[in-house]
Amino acid sequence: MASTDPMDNPARPWILLTPALTAIMLLLIVPLGFIIVYSFWLNTGFGVDTPGFHLDNWISALTDPFYRSILITTIRIALITTVICALLGYIPAYFIATTTFGHKALLLLLLMLPFWISYIIRTMSWINILGSSGAVNGLLQWAGITAEPISMLYNEATVILGLVHFLLPFMILNVYVSLYGIDGRLVEAARSLGCTGWQAFREVTLPLSLPGLAAGGLLCFVLAAGTYITPLILGGPRDAMFANLVFEAIITQLNWPMGSALSLVLLIVLGSVVALYNRFLGLGQIAKSLS
Amino acid sequence: MTFMPSGWSLIRFATILIYLFMFLPVAVVVLLSFNPAQFGSFPMEGLSTHWFVELWNNDAIRRAFRTSMILGALTAVISTTLGVLASLAMVRYNFPGKTIIATAVIAPILVPEVVLAVALLLFLQFLGIPKSFFLLLMGHVIFTLPFVVLVVQARLVGVRREYEEAAMSLGASQIQTFFAITLPLILPAVAAGMLFAFTISFDDITGTLFWKPGGVETVPTQIFAMLRNSISPEINALGTVMIVVTVALPLLGAALARRLARGVGG
């Protein structure tokens, strides 16, 4: 009767995992290994590659001033976006977590709705607002403040605006989850010991919500730095981000080895950020907010 | 009443502003989609459903819509199946290498989508498998899988193992137990995971632009192609339809499911 409990069968979990693991192996891990190899090949013509071990792609990916300036721009945009998301996201998260209003779930659901609305629609919607015939210009001209439309679109600021609009729900949700988990009696204790409301927030609530803030920050940073579409729709010709370089190399120039090296640079930069985060804070927090 | 607003009312005011920030752009899309003018802009020239009719008669858009629906549905079914099986393994069993596998399963979220897109595209093309609907589908499956796993796992943790053990001690096989006991108990999470996968697939553009074969458009890539000219009321109308498909339908579905569940329960 040794096998009456099928939970003991050591092969069972592997049978259940086989389909997912096969997919991950074939669609993620092997392809990633493959582009590592490919990044050392050399493109010797339009779409023609020479196998081998060449460092040329890596050298230009790391030293070419053009690539470097775009990498710096990408990191700058991602950092600014993350900081703005943290500042703007904390407030509604704090409000929903603390309000005595009975329909917290509804308030949260409302903030989740934009998360479900198509990314490209949300991005392009800013053209309706800030474009030369958009809502703001329409209002300004109607009010007689300006005669001609003011050009507000297609710059780095609008790229950041689009990204903040896209990523804010991620931040709010993460902060909310950590604020919700704080024992309210801690704040009461701080107050009863003589803290002002602001002091209690600074000494108790804020430190306890830092894991959520950090998790939201990581998600915002990584997603912003990997963006491809937002700079195309809301940025000008000079506002390309790193993912645009990759697309350009792969699809337009058919220089696969260079595209591989560039996408690995992006993976390494973002991977280091994730690894550092995991080393000090752990990725568990992020899983918590997603589920 | 004091002249200085208290901290709390400032917070409330800021929260309202942030809600407006989140919703105004979307509201403008919906509003402008009813603008009869050729170049959708303010001030509005009236209300009409003209652009929705145009949309309906636009073959390219209808094709894109059909492609997106099929792609989303297949992605949802495949990645939910893979995700449920993997979640069962990870919640119900202990085995060596579990942490590594748990990380591997959510890894597609952590790899930037562009990198994932490049890796998969180049690998399959290297194997001589050209860009195709199949590649598109596989790509969508791999990056929706982590979301399904996270959602289903969270629910499965809350389902007590005793229920399954009871069924098995009464003679049910593993598979019978799964379909009679486990699946109904995790059904809300399975449905949520499916919906999640469908919406993510329906909305995806970055990976899709890398993987789609020439001539095939999904709704987002179709919108993207249309945006190269200028923003027209037709795009806004398409945006409105997208909002209905990705927001209103899931909400309706959830409400319906809740009502049905209540009907069964009481």
Q: Is B214 exposed, middle or buried (0-12, 13-18, 19+ CB in 10 A)?
A: exposed
CB-nearest to B93 from A13, A225, A259 is: A13
Name every chain B residue with its beta carbon within 8 A of the beta carbon of A16.
85-86, 88-89, 93
The reported pLDDT for the residue numbered B135 is 93
Whether the per-residue pLDDT at B143 is higher than 70: the answer is yes
Whether the per-residue pLDDT at B40 is higher than 70: the answer is no
Structure token pair of residue A2: 């040794």
Q: Under a CB-based contact definition with an 8 Å cutoff, are residues A174 and A216 in contact?
A: yes
> For residue B136, what are the CA distances in angstroms to A19, A22, A226, B84, B224?
18, 17, 20, 22, 17
The reported pLDDT for the residue numbered A202 is 84
The reported pLDDT for the residue numbered A199 is 84
Q: What whole-number distance in Å separates Cα of residue A285 and Cα of residue B79?
A: 24
Q: What whole-number distance in Å separates Cα of residue A82 and Cα of residue A87?
A: 9
Name every chain A residue with its beta carbon within 8 A of the beta carbon of B168.
6
Whether the per-residue pLDDT at B32 is higher than 90: the answer is no
> Mutating which of B110, B176, B230 best tests the A interface, going by the most A Cβ atoms within 10 A?
B110
The reported pLDDT for the residue numbered B204 is 93
The verdict on a CB contact (< 8 Å) between B142 and A23 is yes
Structure token pair of residue A158: 């609008």
The verdict on a CB contact (< 8 Å) between A23 and B89 is no
Whether the per-residue pLDDT at A289 is higher than 70: the answer is no
Q: What whole-number distance in Å separates Cα of residue B143 and Cα of residue B68?
A: 16
What long-range pairs does A252-255 form, CB within 8 A, spacing at least 24?
A253/A46, A254/A43, A254/A46, A254/A47, A255/A43
pLDDT bin (cut points 50, 70, 90) of residue A214 is: very high
Q: Under a CB-based contact definition with an 8 Å cutoff, are residues A265 and A71 in contact?
A: yes
Name every chain A residue with its beta carbon within 8 A of the beta carbon of B246.
116-118
Name every chain B residue with its beta carbon within 8 A of the beta carbon of A271.
110
Strand (E) or helix (H) holding A282:
none
Our CA angle for A157, B143, A26, nearest 5°, is 130
Q: Tell me the whole-structure pTM to 2 decimals.
A: 0.88
Our CA angle for A135, A136, A141, nearest 5°, is 100
Contacts of B246 (CB under 8 A, 6+ apart): A116, A117, A118, B199, B202, B203
pLDDT bin (cut points 50, 70, 90) of residue A139 is: confident
Q: Under a CB-based contact definition with an 8 Å cutoff, are residues A81 and A163 in contact?
A: yes
Report which of residues B246 and B79 the model is more confident about: B79
The verdict on a CB contact (< 8 Å) between A21 and B236 is no
The verdict on a CB contact (< 8 Å) between B108 and A13 is no
For residue A234, the 8-state DSSP code is H
Q: What whole-number distance in Å separates Cα of residue B101 and Cα of residue B170?
A: 33
The reported pLDDT for the residue numbered A4 is 47
> Mutating which of B11, B42, B131, B137 best tests the A interface, going by the most A Cβ atoms within 10 A?
B42
3-state class of A42 per DSSP?
Answer: strand
CB-nearest to A20 from B28, B86, B113 is: B86
The reported pLDDT for the residue numbered A7 is 54
Q: What whole-number distance in Å separates Cα of residue A246 and Cα of residue A240?
A: 11
Give the whole-number percent of chain B exceeding pLDDT 70: 93
CB atoms within 10 A of CB A234: 25
**What is the average per-residue pLDDT within A195-211?**
85
Mean per-residue pLDDT of chain B: 87
The reported pLDDT for the residue numbered A217 is 94
Q: What is the ipTM of this complex?
A: 0.85
A–B CB contacts, 8 A cutoff, strictly below: 251
**What is the average per-residue pLDDT within B157-186?**
88
Give the side-chain half-sphere CA count within 13 A for A111: 28
Closest CA to B227 of B2, B29, B1: B29
A68-88: per-residue pLDDT in tens? 999 999 999 999 999 999 999
How long a stretch of residues is chain B?
A: 266
Of the listed ranges A27-36, A280-289, B30-39, B171-180, the one predicted with least confidence: A280-289
Give the pairing type, strands A48-50 and A42-45. Answer: antiparallel
3-state class of B105 per DSSP?
Answer: helix
Whether the per-residue pLDDT at A3 is higher than 60: the answer is no
The verdict on a CB contact (< 8 Å) between A117 and B223 is no
DSSP string, B209-260: HHHPPTT---HHHHHHHHHTT---HHHHHHHHHHHIIIIIHHHHHHHHHHHH
Report which of residues A279 and B136 the model is more confident about: B136
B222-252: per-residue pLDDT in tens? 999 998 877 778 888 999 988 887 787 777 8
